Structures are given as structure tokens and as C-alpha cells.
Amino acid sequence: MPLGIYKPGQGYWVRTLSAVGAGLLVLAGAAWAWGQAGAVRLPVASHTVSVRAASGEIHPGDVVTYLRPGDDNQGTPTEFGNGVARETAVGQDRSGIVVIGDFSNEDVRDKFGQTIRLSTEGGFSAQVANVSPTPIFSQQYLQAGCAGVVLLLGFIVIYWFTGTGRKTNEFLIATDGEMKKVNWSTPKEIRGSTIVVIVAAFLIAAILFGIDTLFAWFFRTIHVLQA
């Protein structure tokens, strides 16, 4: 696709307004892509776990076991996977944050909502208050990338359609030439035509109302309609 503008200066308004209209559609498409990308679930890189009622010590590098409610009658928690502690911050009140990654399986990575406790072989144990997944990168990066691709492709197409494409621009230039031949109504003519249309609409409505009233009276008189 050659760069530059094909026959610059010709068909200016048609080409410009076509570009503006297409640009609005591209912006709408980019906004749609942004919203759709926001609903995509990205792969999880780590969990930020809020813990409470902790006992024992936990350090970065410890293998952390995830426990979920048991299926037996006693409700004994069962292990369903583990990960590796990356960051730990448990205070004197025995609550805090533990960041866990390097999961042993997809079950523990994706079904963290079933977690009730964490434990380690070193004797650490804590109840889970909340688990927040951290994706491999920010969701906004994906949204910006999708919207950016739509914008880039859209404006390339617009540039070709209104700037460099020979056939498309010949059509737009010819359209601009035909538009200049149009005999545009003057403001006075437009006001006059508008008044005529409004008056005619009211007259037709009045005539129809009169006919309807007359027929209703007639049929009530001959007892076809009940009053």
C-alpha cells in the first residue's frame, strides 16, 4: 500500500466526513474490545492469602498445603494441592498475608475458593480469611492490547479507504462532485415546507377524528354499538 494521499485536495469533505464516521465506529469497536477483554480470565500466577488464627512460623520457600472441607461426616479437611510461599507477613496478632505460587496442580491454582486452611511441614497452620488470585499480568494490559489492535487495524483501513486506495477514493471524489450538483433548499423554503407538513398533519387528524365521531354516532343510533 503506497503511502501518501491519492489526489489530495479532491473530494475533501466526502473523504473527511467518511473518515470521521469510520473513526467513530472504530472507537466504538475499541471500547467493545476493552470490555470483552475485561471478562477474560487470565492464568493465575500466585495467590495472595489473608490468614488469621495462625500458629507456628512460615517463611518464603516453605511448601504450603491447601486444605478444603472434607466429604466425610466428621468434616475432616482434606489436602487438594500445595504451592510455595513467596512472601510472608504474619503479625503478632497471628493474622496477615501469605503470597503463594508454583502450584502443584491446576486444581489448587483454579479452585482456591474451596480453601479453608493452610499448613506447612514446619508446623505452620492458619485459617484462610480470603484468597485473591494474581494473574500473570494486569488485566488492563490485555484490555489495552485488544483495544490497541482494533484501533491500529481500524485506522489502517480508514487510511487506505479515504487516503490511498485508488478505487475507493475515485468513488469518494466522484460522490463529492455529485454532491456539489445538488440543489439545496434555502432556509426559507425549508421553513415553508415544514409549516405545510405540520398543518397538513393536523388537518388530516381533524378529518379522521370527525369521520370517526360521525360513524360512532351513527352506529350507536342504530344500536350496533353500545353507548
In the chain, where are the structural domains located? 12-37+140-180, 47-86+103-131, 185-227
Report which residue type is found at 125.
S
Q: How far apart are CA 58 and CA 123, in angstroms?
A: 8
Cα–Cα nearest to 59, from 117, 109, 98: 98
pLDDT of residue 126: 93
- At 182, phi and psi to the nearest 5? -70, 135
> The C-alpha cell of 12 is what?
475533501
- One digit per residue, the tens of pLDDT, for the chain of length 227 reads 556 888 888 999 999 999 999 999 999 999 999 999 999 989 899 999 999 999 999 999 999 999 988 765 566 788 889 999 999 999 888 999 999 999 998 888 888 888 889 999 999 999 999 999 999 999 999 999 999 999 999 999 999 999 999 999 999 999 999 988 888 888 999 999 999 999 999 999 999 999 999 999 998 888 776 65
Q: What is the DSSP letter of 2?
A: -
Q: How far apart are CA 16 and CA 143, in angstroms?
A: 29
pLDDT of residue 181: 87
Specify whether the CB–CB gap between 100 and 45 falls below 8 A.
Answer: no
Distances (CA, A) of 152 to 7, 139, 155, 195, 202: 24, 20, 5, 48, 52
pLDDT of residue 112: 81
Q: How far apart are CA 102 and CA 85, in angstroms?
A: 9
pTM recorded for the entire structure: 0.66
Handedness of CA 74, 107, 56, 126 (dihedral sign): negative
Helix ranges (H only) for the chain are: 12-38, 106-110, 139-159, 166-180, 187-221
Q: At what angle do helices 166-180 and 12-38 cross, to 10 degrees?
A: 120
Q: How far apart are CA 22 and CA 26, in angstroms?
A: 6
Residue recorded with cell 353507548: 227
Work out whether strand 63-68 and strand 117-120 pair parallel, antiparallel, or are unpaired.
antiparallel
